[in-house]
Amino acid sequence: MATYKIGELSKKTGLTTDSIRFYESKQLIQPSFRADNNYRYYHDDALKRLLFIQRCRALDLSLQEIEILITLEQQPQQNCQAVNEIIDLHLAQVEKKLAELHKFQQELQQLRQSCNAQSTIDHCQILKQLEAQ
């Protein structure tokens, strides 16, 4: 079984050593052992877990959601319902954010349409509307 120092994990995952230490402090990973030189060494399971966390974070899952998924992963006899519920809730949050972003886009487009590029700053309708809001 391969062992890695924290710098090697960092290179393999693209995570900073600070991030790896943070995940360790949250007990999401554990070093396999600490050598006489006081270096922490990690096995493949820590690498696998860090890659899992990284993929979850890329999907904007919260640390709490990741912790729950890891806990569920350690109960292989359970059905997937709890995992589905977490993803469904997160999907609803993403859909809400998309709706908010669409609203922002429309507001910005309206602001942009109010501007006559030939006018001076003291007559800029975008600035005037932003001040009025």
pLDDT digits (tens, 9 = 90+) for 88-99: 999 999 999 999
Is 72 in the same domain as 97? Answer: no
Is 26 in the same domain as 72? Answer: yes
pLDDT digits (tens, 9 = 90+) for 70-88: 999 989 888 899 999 999 9
* Domain span at 120: 82-133
* Dist. CA 11–CA 50, nearest whole Å: 12
**Which residues touch 124 (CB under 8 Å, ≥6 apart)?**
115
Domain count, the chain: 2
Q: How much is the pTM?
A: 0.80
Q: What is the pLDDT of residue 133?
A: 63
Torsion of CA 121, 125, 126, 129, to 10 degrees: 130
